[in-house]
Amino acid sequence: MENLSFAFRQANNFDIVHCHTGIRALLFQDFVKTPIVHTFHNPVYSISKKLPPSLEILRIHRRNTNGCFVSKSAKKLCPVKLKNKMVVYNGIDLNSFKFNPAPE
Protein backbone atom coordinates (compact mmCIF):
# COMPACT_ATOMS: atom_id res chain seq x y z
CA MET A 1 0.00 0.00 0.00
CA GLU A 2 2.93 2.32 0.63
CA ASN A 3 4.01 2.00 -3.03
CA LEU A 4 0.47 2.70 -4.23
CA SER A 5 0.25 5.73 -1.98
CA PHE A 6 3.54 7.07 -3.36
CA ALA A 7 2.49 6.43 -6.97
CA PHE A 8 -0.85 8.18 -6.57
CA ARG A 9 0.81 11.19 -4.93
CA GLN A 10 2.70 11.54 -8.25
CA ALA A 11 -0.37 10.89 -10.45
CA ASN A 12 -1.14 14.53 -11.20
CA ASN A 13 2.24 14.79 -12.95
CA PHE A 14 0.98 12.48 -15.73
CA ASP A 15 -1.71 12.50 -18.42
CA ILE A 16 -2.87 8.99 -17.56
CA VAL A 17 -1.94 6.28 -15.08
CA HIS A 18 -2.08 2.61 -16.07
CA CYS A 19 -2.47 0.45 -12.99
CA HIS A 20 -1.85 -3.31 -12.73
CA THR A 21 -2.16 -3.62 -8.97
CA GLY A 22 -5.72 -4.82 -8.73
CA ILE A 23 -8.58 -3.72 -6.54
CA ARG A 24 -6.44 -1.92 -3.92
CA ALA A 25 -5.66 0.91 -6.35
CA LEU A 26 -9.35 1.79 -6.50
CA LEU A 27 -9.05 3.13 -2.97
CA PHE A 28 -6.75 5.90 -4.25
CA GLN A 29 -8.21 6.83 -7.64
CA ASP A 30 -10.86 9.24 -6.37
CA PHE A 31 -8.18 11.48 -4.86
CA VAL A 32 -6.52 12.39 -8.18
CA LYS A 33 -7.74 14.17 -11.30
CA THR A 34 -5.61 12.07 -13.66
CA PRO A 35 -7.56 9.33 -15.47
CA ILE A 36 -6.66 5.86 -14.22
CA VAL A 37 -6.88 2.70 -16.34
CA HIS A 38 -6.96 -0.54 -14.37
CA THR A 39 -5.86 -3.71 -16.14
CA PHE A 40 -7.45 -6.83 -14.72
CA HIS A 41 -5.20 -9.76 -15.63
CA ASN A 42 -7.39 -12.32 -13.93
CA PRO A 43 -11.15 -12.69 -14.31
CA VAL A 44 -13.18 -10.51 -11.95
CA TYR A 45 -16.27 -12.48 -11.01
CA SER A 46 -18.40 -13.76 -8.18
CA ILE A 47 -19.88 -17.24 -7.82
CA SER A 48 -22.60 -16.04 -5.45
CA LYS A 49 -25.21 -13.31 -5.62
CA LYS A 50 -23.49 -11.46 -2.78
CA LEU A 51 -20.34 -9.70 -3.97
CA PRO A 52 -17.13 -10.58 -2.12
CA PRO A 53 -15.36 -7.61 -0.43
CA SER A 54 -12.98 -7.02 -3.35
CA LEU A 55 -15.85 -6.74 -5.84
CA GLU A 56 -17.82 -4.60 -3.42
CA ILE A 57 -14.91 -2.12 -3.54
CA LEU A 58 -15.09 -2.23 -7.35
CA ARG A 59 -18.86 -1.65 -7.24
CA ILE A 60 -18.44 1.38 -4.95
CA HIS A 61 -15.86 2.96 -7.29
CA ARG A 62 -17.45 1.84 -10.58
CA ARG A 63 -18.40 5.34 -11.82
CA ASN A 64 -14.75 6.41 -11.97
CA THR A 65 -13.22 3.10 -13.03
CA ASN A 66 -11.82 2.44 -16.49
CA GLY A 67 -11.33 -1.31 -16.74
CA CYS A 68 -9.02 -2.98 -19.23
CA PHE A 69 -9.44 -6.74 -19.59
CA VAL A 70 -7.12 -9.22 -21.29
CA SER A 71 -9.94 -11.08 -23.08
CA LYS A 72 -13.59 -10.74 -24.06
CA SER A 73 -14.50 -13.53 -21.67
CA ALA A 74 -12.76 -11.78 -18.75
CA LYS A 75 -14.66 -8.59 -19.60
CA LYS A 76 -17.95 -10.48 -19.80
CA LEU A 77 -17.37 -12.17 -16.42
CA CYS A 78 -17.04 -8.83 -14.60
CA PRO A 79 -20.38 -8.42 -12.78
CA VAL A 80 -19.89 -4.69 -12.13
CA LYS A 81 -20.83 -2.02 -14.68
CA LEU A 82 -17.78 0.24 -14.95
CA LYS A 83 -17.37 3.71 -16.46
CA ASN A 84 -15.51 2.07 -19.37
CA LYS A 85 -14.69 -1.54 -20.17
CA MET A 86 -12.20 -2.37 -22.91
CA VAL A 87 -10.25 -5.40 -24.10
CA VAL A 88 -6.55 -5.25 -24.93
CA TYR A 89 -5.08 -8.60 -25.86
CA ASN A 90 -1.55 -9.64 -25.05
CA GLY A 91 0.60 -8.37 -27.92
CA ILE A 92 2.54 -11.54 -28.70
CA ASP A 93 2.04 -13.28 -32.03
CA LEU A 94 2.48 -16.91 -31.00
CA ASN A 95 2.92 -17.93 -34.65
CA SER A 96 6.21 -16.01 -34.67
CA PHE A 97 7.76 -18.42 -32.19
CA LYS A 98 8.56 -22.09 -32.51
CA PHE A 99 7.70 -24.40 -29.64
CA ASN A 100 10.81 -25.75 -27.96
CA PRO A 101 10.01 -29.05 -26.21
CA ALA A 102 13.42 -29.02 -24.47
CA PRO A 103 14.16 -25.47 -23.32
CA GLU A 104 17.67 -24.75 -22.10
Domain ranges of the chain: 2-90
pLDDT of residue 26: 84
Per-residue pLDDT of the chain (104 residues; tens, 9 = 90+): 677 888 888 888 999 998 887 778 888 888 888 998 988 877 666 566 666 777 777 877 788 888 998 889 888 888 888 899 999 987 788 888 888 899 87
Q: Measure the CA–CA gap between 76 and 43, rounded to whole angstroms.
A: 9
Q: Tell me which residue of 99, 31, 44 sits closest to 70, measured CA to CA.
A: 44
Q: Is pTM beyond 0.75 here?
A: no
The answer to whether 77 touches 45, Cβ cutoff 8 Å, is: yes
